[in-house]
Amino acid sequence: MIRVLVVEDEQHLADGLRFNLEAEGYQVQVAETGEAALDLVITEPSLVDVVVLDVMLPGKDGFTVMSEMRRAGQFVPTLMLTARGHPEDVLRGFAAGADDYLTKPFELPILIARIRGLLRRREWLRTTLNNVAATHTTPPEPKDTFSFGEKSVNFDLLELRVGDQKFPLTLMEANVLRYLIRHEGKPVSRKHMLEEVWGLQEDTDTRAIDNFIVRLRRYIETDPSRPRHLLTIRGVGYRFVASPEKTE
């Protein structure tokens, strides 16, 4: 059974979420504070499959909880609940390591669809990367990894290796990277990435994408200010190049 951790201090909201998520067949645990949520996720990560994290909490707020969770090496898919009319909260949430967000008040079917989406993308990441590896000229290593130069991404472990260094990736970082790798050599627009990686159709601030690119460049580029793998295509978006030495 899929286990959802709901982090929400307002009891009527937490109760409503519990009732409706249980009706969908999920097992639900509620944490009323960020501290309690961190305790649970860090000490018992195997008990949580997906987190719904409210921003407004007593004590540690949702952003702090999010970044502490990621710093502790816990990369469970997490959806943040932010206040409507605060687009900067969305960007802060993504920067802290959130995988998705929803603004309050939200429609329940949308929340459930987003949770399903997070779980589905996790599976999708795990199972279909072998198609990419099979069509790429680099000899495929284990089927859930993609290698370029001395770097390799393990989409199962959500881990990027550069030489001897390992960088944990959030689910969204891995999704963004995987999307770019699938379109290797071709420019991809921010709009398409938002639609296909996040499932966002509405007018969303595309700068959220840029934050991901900045973080990914820090991991994979020798000099992030002069990227060779993750190129900016002015007026369009980005292009991933696996072997820059071949095209230069």
Q: Give the nearest distance from C-beta 122 to Ca ion in angstroms.
A: 26
Name the residue nearer to Ca ion (CB basis): 9 or 156.
9
CB 32 within 8 A of CB 56: no
Comparison of 11 and 222: residue with beta carbon closer to Ca ion = 11
Which one-letter amino acid corresponds to residue 235?
A: G
* Separation of alpha carbons 101 and 90, rounded Å: 7
Token duo for residue 184: 């290797």
Query: Omega into 105 within 30° of 0, i.e. cis?
Result: yes
Which residue lies nearer to Ca ion by CB, 40 or 56?
56
| Cα–Cα distance measured from residue 51 to residue 29, given in angstroms and rounded to the nearest whole number | 10
Interacting residues with Ca ion (CB under 5 A): 9-10, 54, 56
What do you get for the CA distance between the two ends of the chain, in Å?
50
Output 56 or 91, the one with its CB closest to Ca ion.
Answer: 56
- Residue with Cβ nearer Ca ion (106 or 124): 106
For Ca ion, the closer CB: 54 or 144: 54
Residue 193: what are its φ and ψ, rounded to 5°?
-65, -45
Please list, residue by residue across 217-229, b when 16 or more beta carbons sit within 10 angstroms of its beta carbon and e when fewer do: bebbbeeeeebbb
Shortest Cβ 10–Ca ion spacing (Å): 5
Closest distance of CB 37 from Ca ion, Å: 12
Cα–Cα distance, 180 to 49 (Å, whole number): 26
Q: Burial, 107: exposed, middle or buried (Cβ in 10 Å; 0-12, 13-18, 19+)?
A: exposed
> What token pair was written down for 218?
């820090």
Question: CB of 193: closest distance to Ca ion in angstroms?
Answer: 30
> What is the closest distance, in whole angstroms, from the C-beta atom of residue 63 to Ca ion in the complex?
13
